[in-house]
Amino acid sequence: MSSVPVLKLENVSKLYDGATPFLALDNINFEIAKGEFVAITGPSGSGKSTMLHLLGCLDRPSKGEIYIAGRPISRMSDNQVADIRRDELGFVFQAFNLAPTLTVFQNVELPMMIKNVPKAEREKEARRNLAAVGLASKLNNMPSQLSGGEKQRVAIARALANRPKIILADEPTGNLDSKSSRLVMDQIEALCRDRGITIILITHEHNLAVDADRIIHLKDGRIESDMRKKSQFRRLMK
Ligand SMILES: Nc1ncnc2c1ncn2[C@@H]1O[C@H](COP(=O)(O)OP(=O)(O)OP(=O)(O)O)[C@@H](O)[C@H]1O
Ligand SMILES: [Mg+2]
């Protein structure tokens, strides 16, 4: 295994410029290793989504450098960054973001079509991923015919379809009841661990965060704590 971190942030700040400029992230430094499961927690407005957007190359920092597998993104063109997003990253959002006019199967197939994966391979991969999230019997359903938890499991199958190196999830269980939340999280974790995929999960729910290998807690745009051991965190929560 390579010792180059999959992600590294070096003195990263994000200033939202505008009528009232706001420093949402203030000089953040950390590294994430391959296969690590990292939870990002913190109060509303602490900078979690801003951080995930930077890690997911959906936005660029105002200062500092982000390295993906050792490559600094500031030196890349927008097209090169878009290629990284497509080829190496998988996203899961609170609002599911499924295409409403496509079936479950087509939703999972779509990112592979964009990547020109041959039809037979696309179908095999879509079936494999939908089976992995327990939805083999819902392939031809429309998203509107699914429960919230099922929709999120389609979104997971879709995120995994391009064989990403990193899954970035922003409150993926925010719209789900506690039982569905647990199922969705268990599936994300099992699939990513099985495939060596790094998980970066934003969550408000401590009972989900404690499953992570590491918890980065943000406050006012800064890292308040960065804890690696579950047991250590559990003790602090008591
Ligand atoms: N486009 C923007 N322009 C100006 N300020 C912004 C912008 N986006 C976010 N902010 C501010 O930056 C701060 C961090 O926002 P962010 O969305 O990262 O918070 P969060 O930790 O994800 O919160 P939540 O738990 O509510 O989702 C907030 O104070 C927010 O108001
Ligand atoms: Mg947020």
Q: What's 171's domain CATH number?
A: 3.40.50.300
**DSSP character at residue 214:** E
pLDDT category of residue 77 using cuts at 50, 70 and 90: very high
* pLDDT above 70: percentage of residues in the chain: 95
Token couple for 224: 């308040």
Q: Ligand 2 center to residue 50 CA distance, Å?
A: 7
The minimum-distance atom of ligand 1 relative to the CA of 46 is 21
Based on the structure, what is the number of domains in the chain?
1
* Structural domain boundaries enclosing 180: 35-55+87-237
Q: List all residues 6 or more positions away from 70 whose beta carbon is below 8 Å from its beta carbon.
A: 4, 5, 8
In a domain, 171, yes or no: yes
Residue 80 has pLDDT above 80, yes or no: yes
What's the 233 CA to ligand 1 centre distance in angstroms? 26
Determine which residue's CA is closest to atom 11 belonging to ligand 1: 24
pLDDT at 237 over 70: no
Kindly state whether residue 15 falls inside one of the protein's structural domains: no
- CB 45 less than 6 A from any atom of ligand 1: yes
List, for residues 110-128, the tens digit of each pLDDT value.
Answer: 999 988 999 999 999 999 9
Q: Tell me: the pLDDT tens digits for 6-16?
A: 999 999 999 99
Q: How far apart are CA 189 and CA 14, in angstroms?
A: 29
The rounded mean pLDDT for the chain is: 92
Residue 199 lies in a domain: yes
Within a domain: 163: yes
Q: Convert the pLDDT of each residue in 162-179 to its tens digit.
A: 899 999 999 999 888 989
Exposure on the CB side of residue 14, measured as CA atoms within 13 A: 25
pLDDT tens track for 86-96? 999 999 998 88
CA of 52 from ligand 2 middle (Å) equals: 9
- Is 71 a domain residue? no
User: For residue 5, is it within any domain?
Assistant: no
Instruction: Give domain status of residue 114, yes or no.
Output: yes
**In-domain check, residue 76:** no
Question: Could you tell me if the CB of 152 is within 6 A of ligand 1?
Answer: no
pLDDT band at 2 (very low <50, low <70, confident <90, very high): low
Cβ proximity of 154 and 122 under 8 Å: no
Cα-to-centroid distance, 49 and ligand 1 (Å) = 7
